Amino acid sequence: MYFLCASSDLAESQSRAFDAAGLSLLGIRRQGHVHLYRNRCPHRGIALNWEGGSDAFLDESASLIQCAHHGALFLIESGECVAGPCEGEQLQALDCMEDSQGIWLRT
């Protein structure tokens, strides 16, 4: 397992970039639950956020994941693309857990 951050470092309706186990990841807390995905758009195979490690992965309403490069929109709970050039495809979900120490990537 790889430690990602303290629970308090990923607030409700917020997103954050991580690097762990040689992977670029994005985490989002929604309704108290942490969702973790590989930071890779299925459309072009590039990171969903702008270069420079921005933690901005959500649309203006904070209800969908949005690709910064071409605007594709993904459901937070499943990673399914619901609008854009990769509609019907999905982000790669990763297994994570949260305990008293924080948020962990399970490998």
Asked if 64 and 72 touch (Cβ cutoff 8 Å), the reply is no
Asked if 27 and 94 touch (Cβ cutoff 8 Å), the reply is no
State both tokens at 36: 């973790």
Asked if 91 and 99 touch (Cβ cutoff 8 Å), the reply is no
**Overall pTM surpassing 0.75 (yes/no):** yes
Give me the sign of the Cα torsion angle 80, 57, 33, 61.
negative
Q: How confident is the model at residue 53 (pLDDT cuts 50, 70, 90)?
A: low
CATH top class, domain 2-105: mainly beta
Confidence (pLDDT) at 50: 78
Asked if 47 and 24 touch (Cβ cutoff 8 Å), the reply is yes
Q: How confident is the model at residue 52 (pLDDT cuts 50, 70, 90)?
A: low
Residue type, 52: G
Asked if 23 and 4 touch (Cβ cutoff 8 Å), the reply is no
- Could you read off the pLDDT of 15-45 as tens digits, one per residue? 999 999 999 999 999 999 999 999 999 988 8
Confidence (pLDDT) at 42: 92
Mean pLDDT of the chain: 94
